[in-house]
Chain A
Amino acid sequence: MQEIVVLSGKGGTGKTSITAALATIGKNLLAVDCDVDAANLYLLLNPQNYREEKYTSGKTAFVHADVCTVCGKCVDACRFEAIRYFNDSIEVQETACEGCQLCAAICPAHAIEMIPRDKSRWYEATYNNGYMVYARLFPGEENSGKLVSVIREKAKALAQKHQLDTILLDGPPGVGCPVISSVTGTQKVLIVTEPSVSAFHDLKRIVDLTKNFKVKRYVVINKYDISIALSNRIEAWCVEQQIPVVSKLPFDKELVEAMIQCKSIVEFNPLSEYSSKMQVVFNALLKDE
């Protein structure tokens, strides 16, 4: 079994469209959406859920006002500025609370209770080419990195159960905790970039991050024809870094049209230049030992 994650650093370079294309070329695949903050892969793969589970993303402090003496010890102790005075009482800002429980531990009046946050969900599903695991982080809830770890564990178990060879992970943007959770333990990273100064800058950061992992790296330059000069510079840089550029994909308006019809580009127009290049990417990525 192999795990392949699609990353980019900069958002909007085409991670999800490319993951969906790969996920609709092969058979017996398991697709996982690790961008739990802005999960979009399900819009293209149309999964049929057969399992829905609660995800408890830690706990949030709750102050029982009738017990609280407003001594302020919790306000001073909280390092996340999540507790403050409000009209002669103590107020917790739920979105800032990280659930460390220090306040509950130090409260002399035992007025603080930790309430589980359980509004996020994860799903197991089937789609045309195999299985899918994805999640929805309830807006404002924390620990998206932990939720990524949870769905990846579920995905691995599912892949073993159904003898699926390849897990395709659609990663989140950036280089922070959900990205680290998405790349940990995978074998291959496909980095999607585009010819813009910002995407190039962020490509360097994601390449830097992945150096700390034992992974094979591949790059695709999406919309390469927006600036061929910059594409060439990015390609030269990748060669210097000894990272293969497996394809340069053209700017193609059909990607949006496919999205509107809830299809991947290879389902929408299998004969287009973009789709045939995706076939090459698929082979380069999945069959490389």
Chain B
Amino acid sequence: MKIAIASGKGGTGKTFVSTNLFYASVYDGNQITLVDCDAEAPNTTLFLKGVCESIEHVYSYFPSIDVDACAFCGKCVEACHFNAIFYLSQKKRIHVLNELCHSCGACSYVCKHGAITEHAKSIGTIKRIAYRNTSPIAECRMEIGVASSVPIIKQAIRNVDNDAMVLLDSPPGVSCPFIATVETADYVILVTEPTPFGLNDLRLSIQTLQQMGIAFGVIINRDGIGNQKMENWLNEENIPILMKIPYDSLIAETYAEGKIVSEINSMYLSKFRELMKILEENSTEQRVALCKK
């Protein structure tokens, strides 16, 4: 089963929840895998350290145009819907702008002169570490200057064992990298905070997940700051609140230092162990029923 931990707004505590759930599960002796899908800002391995087992590069294919073979017919320019081919027909100048290219292959498909070949270029890495020598963590890391992290995320998720329990630490937002993460998940935990920004962005995330038909529940982080509007709205909409994490300076301090609060504080450890048990229940209906108790 795959569980994605996501949020519309950044900095609400996705990585905090992912790392603590993972820690609690390892503590209970369960087999679990964590994938850090936030390839633009990967942070999980700052908190969970282990021996690096392998680093895999992820490649995208970028076309290059052989000007000697090119007939300057302009077909590839027409076929490219991302404006990624720079073309001056009269001056006979043509080349690909990699930062705009989506590696879709349309240009090489339409070229009838054999002038376009595609070359693999590394866009990022997937680093595998073994936490406490047993539990695998896969970290997606996009190279600086690359536009899209989606191929790295897809590759990392493809790599994991489908039968295993997997936590996916999602990137923020509601566009492509978020979609690539949650579309593979059986269940999504949305982490939010009870502020107007939190509520605004939570609604967008929920709208997206409902459209995609993926089941979800909500964790309210930093409970106690802000106001009651979030909780009232969730109750009105009948959306399960999986957990409330109080605003606690202990969490802020341990998190700032790169530590797992569940490792230091038994109250938080038992909270996350309990939640992990609920999530491991087989069906979504059971999960929802349990959360409503």
A contact set with B: CB distance below 8 Å: 9-13, 16, 37-38, 40, 43, 58-59, 77, 79-81, 93, 95-96, 98-102, 105-106, 137, 139-142, 144-145, 172-180, 194-198, 201-202, 205, 208-209, 212, 226-227, 230, 253, 256, 259-260, 262
Contact = CB atoms under 8 A, between A and B. Distances in A.
B172 A173 contact: yes
B179 A174 contact: no
Given A38-B174, A95-B183, A201-B46, A230 B11 contact: no
Interface of B: 8-12, 15, 38, 40-41, 43, 46-47, 79, 81-82, 99, 102-106, 109-110, 142, 144-149, 154, 171-180, 183, 195-197, 200-201, 204-205, 207-208, 211-212, 225-227, 252-253, 255-258
B46 A256 contact: no
A95 B179 contact: yes
A200 B102 CA distance: 30
A81 B176 CA distance: 13
Nearest to A147: B175
Contact of A180 (B147, B175, B200, B256): B147
Contacts of A59: 81
A95 B178 CA distance: 10
Contacts of B47: 197
Given A40-B197, A102-B109, A198 B15 contact: yes
A176 B177 contact: yes
Contact of A173 (B10, B179, B183, B207): B10
B226 A260 contact: yes
Contact of A106 (B41, B102, B109): B109
A285 B154 CA distance: 40
Contacts of B46: 197-198, 201
28 contacts: A10-B43, A12-B9, A12-B10, A37-B8, A37-B175, A37-B204, A38-B201, A40-B200, A79-B104, A100-B106, A102-B104, A105-B109, A106-B109, A137-B174, A139-B174, A139-B204, A140-B211, A173-B40, A173-B172, A176-B149, A180-B145, A197-B256, A198-B15, A198-B46, A209-B144, A227-B256, A227-B257, A256-B225
Among the interface residues B40, B154, B204, which one has the most CB atoms of the partner chain A within 10 A?
B40
Q: Which 5 A-B pairs have the closest CB atoms?
A: A12-B11, A11-B10, A174-B40, A37-B173, A100-B104
A253 B10 CA distance: 19
Contacts of A173: 10-11, 40-41, 172-173
Contact of B142 (A40, A137, A176): A176
Nearest to B102: A98
Given A40-B9, A93-B183, 6 more contacts: A12-B9, A37-B173, A40-B197, A58-B81, A144-B176, A259-B226
Contacts of A194: 256
A7 to B, nearest CB: 11
Contact of B195 (A101, A197, A256): A256
Among the interface residues A11, A16, A142, A209, which one has the most CB atoms of the partner chain B within 10 A?
A11
Contact of B197 (A80, A201, A259): A259
A38 B109 contact: no
Contacts of B256: 194-197, 226-227, 230
A139 B208 contact: yes
Contact of B148 (A141, A176, A262): A176
A276 B228 CA distance: 30
Contacts of A9: 40-41
Nearest to B12: A12
A174 B140 CA distance: 13
A9 B38 CA distance: 11
Nearest to A139: B208
A102 B105 contact: yes
Contacts of B81: 58-59, 99-101
B98 to A, nearest CB: 12
Contacts of B154: 81
Contacts of B227: 260
Among the interface residues B9, B110, B149, B226, which one has the most CB atoms of the partner chain A within 10 A?
B9
